[in-house]
A and B are shown apart, each in its own frame.
Chain A
Amino acid sequence: GAVVSQHPSRVICKSGTSVKIECRSLDFQATTMFWYRQFPKKSLMLMATSNEGSKATYEQGVEKDKFLINHASLTLSTLTVTSAHPEDSSFYICSATSDGNTIYFGEGSWLTVV
């Protein structure tokens, strides 16, 4: 089946720094990618939807200047957490689709801000 890969799987960064998480579709062209955030023992919350070559659509309450999303190609979307704070520590997970019928999730990235 189709594969979506995320990198890094785990990252620790200092408060105030920025960190970038990559989401790649390895064997298909992802016209749409989604970024979710999941706190421990909680559900997945959709942060934003990105379409290749256009600006991401953010969900209500998600700061677009803090969570920068770039979908520069049909196989890569990046999420950059800027000026990270401890409360940004979470599990970030992407998903991708090429046809809107099947959605593939990445492995997720654990972010710890110290």
Chain B
Amino acid sequence: GENVEQHPSTLSVQEGDSAVIKCTYSDSASNYFPWYKQELGKRPQLIIDIRSNVGEKKDQRIAVTLNKTAKHFSLHITETQPEDSAVYFCAAGEGGGADGLTFGKGTHLIIQP
């Protein structure tokens, strides 16, 4: 089955700086890579996703890059703000996610004022 590794587990950055979270996956059949933001006890919120036919996607301060050959994808958040503080999960799945997602262990992002 799929195995998703996520690093770092905790990331502390100064407000206004950029944050980068990296994930690797093992199953070359995976073709859907979403990123979720989760606050304690709440549902995961999709913040951005990328499919395997695209190498990079950007939405305002958030961008995701995908390297299919190396089987890794990264989340980039620029101009970080206090409200960006949360746990972020990467995930990978086949069939565009219709076959279920395998999540990384999560990154606790802390934005220092």
Contact = CB atoms under 8 A, between A and B. Distances in A.
A97 B87 CA distance: 23
A88 interface: no
Main secondary structure of the interface of B (DSSP, over half): loop
A42 B97 contact: no
B43 interface: yes
A67 interface: no
A46 B101 contact: yes
Interface string A71-114: 00000000000000000000101010101110101111010000
B98 A44 contact: no
Determine the interface band of chain B, counting residues with CB < 8 A from chain A. Answer: 20 to 34
Contacts of A95: 101
Interface string B7-36: 000000000000000000000000000100
B101 A103 contact: yes
A43 B97 contact: no
Given A43-B89, A46-B101, A100 B41 contact: no
Contacts of A93: 43-44
Given A60-B1, A100-B95, A100-B96, A108 B102 contact: no
Interface of B: 1, 34, 41-46, 89, 95-106
Interface of A: 32, 34, 42-46, 49, 60, 91, 93, 95, 97, 99-101, 103, 105-108, 110
